[in-house]
């Protein structure tokens, strides 16, 4: 019974951790940068009502005349709104102007916010929406916006600069998760707002795992194997069931 209770508590803790992480991702702006051999993919997650003050995207692009959102239309995903979202954003690699093309844009209700930690999360968030249309009409305040972009470049490790057209009067936190060929290199944070309109992503290769860490891990693994072997050797031998 104790083991079952402990297992249940671990499940609840894990569920709450995921839920809290998803809720945290609905605040501020999260950027995932995935640097490949000759391309850079960029995924972003932000509250939908921030699209206008942050990127200059008119609310009318996402809403009807009464302020409600046609969820059926937006849940299908669309790259043209993604292009509109980035139309006023100037992007550059090491000062050289670079064009990011939209792959898709998707909205999800904030109560069902998607995980957004790695490139695969970004790809799923902009491509998949299995939720039915809510009975109550949604507004931008109810939605989290996800968008994906791609740029072709021969310098994927160059410094990426994003110059935003307009900003909130109050500061906004930006979390940047920088990947190289699917491997996380760094997680940094910046504050934008007011006169600060640039987001700068400087590539920093993740430090290699030290030999000492590997040695300690191997030693722990060997100890676990010895303990398991000792337990097996001490197990009682059951008598064979003989028949006449």
Q: Is residue 24 predicted with pLDDT exceeding 50?
A: no
Residues sharing a CB contact under 8 Å with residue 217, sequence separation 6 or more, in sequence order:
none
Q: How many helices (H) and strands (E) does the chain have?
A: 6, 10
pLDDT of residue 221: 64
pLDDT of residue 180: 96
Q: For 89-131, write each residue's pLDDT tens digit.
A: 999 999 999 999 999 999 888 988 889 999 999 999 998 776 7
CB of 140 within 8 A of CB of 69? yes
**Binning pLDDT at 50, 70 and 90, where does residue 34 land?**
very high
pLDDT of residue 21: 41
Q: In 78-224, where do the E strands start and end?
A: 90-93, 96-97, 101-109, 143-152, 160-163, 172-180, 183-192, 198-201
> Please, which residues bridge with residue 217 across strands?
none
CB of 156 within 8 A of CB of 35? yes
Q: Quick check: pTM over 0.85?
A: no
Q: Is residue 2 predicted with pLDDT exceeding 60?
A: no
Tokens representing 53 are 């003050």
Q: Is residue 30 predicted with pLDDT exceeding 50?
A: yes
Burial 100-134 (b: 16+ CB within 10 A, else e): bebbbbbbbebeebbebebbebbbbbbeebeeeee
Q: Is residue 137 predicted with pLDDT exceeding 50?
A: yes
Mean of pLDDT over the chain:
80
């Amino acid at each position: 019974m104790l083991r079952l209770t402990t297992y249940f508590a671990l499940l609840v803790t894990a569920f709450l951790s995921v839920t809290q992480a998803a809720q945290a991702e609905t605040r501020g702006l999260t950027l995932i940068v995935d640097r490949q051999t000759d391309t850079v993919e960029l995924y972003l997650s932000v509250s939908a009502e921030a699209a206008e003050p942050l990127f200059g995207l008119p609310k009318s692009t996402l809403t009807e005349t009464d302020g409600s959102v046609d969820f059926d239309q937006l849940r299908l995903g669309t790259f043209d709104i993604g292009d509109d979202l980035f139309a006023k954003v100037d992007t550059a690699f090491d000062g050289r102007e670079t064009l990011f093309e939209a792959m898709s844009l998707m909205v999800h209700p904030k109560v069902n916010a998607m995980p957004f930690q790695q490139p695969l999360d970004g790809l799923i968030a902009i491509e998949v929406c299995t939720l039915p249309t809510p009975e109550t009409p949604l507004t931008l305040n109810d939605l989290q916006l996800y968008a994906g972009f791609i740029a072709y470049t021969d310098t994927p490790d160059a410094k990426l600069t994003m110059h935003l057209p307009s900003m909130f009067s109050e500061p906004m936190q930006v979390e940047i998760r920088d990947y190289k060929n699917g491997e996380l290199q760094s997680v940094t944070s910046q504050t934008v707002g007011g006169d600060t309109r640039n987001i700068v992503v400087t590539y920093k290769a993740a430090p290699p795992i030290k030999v000492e860490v590997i040695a300690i891990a191997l030693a722990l693994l060997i100890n676990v194997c010895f303990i398991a072997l000792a337990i097996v050797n001490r197990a009682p031998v059951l008598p064979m069931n003989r028949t006449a």
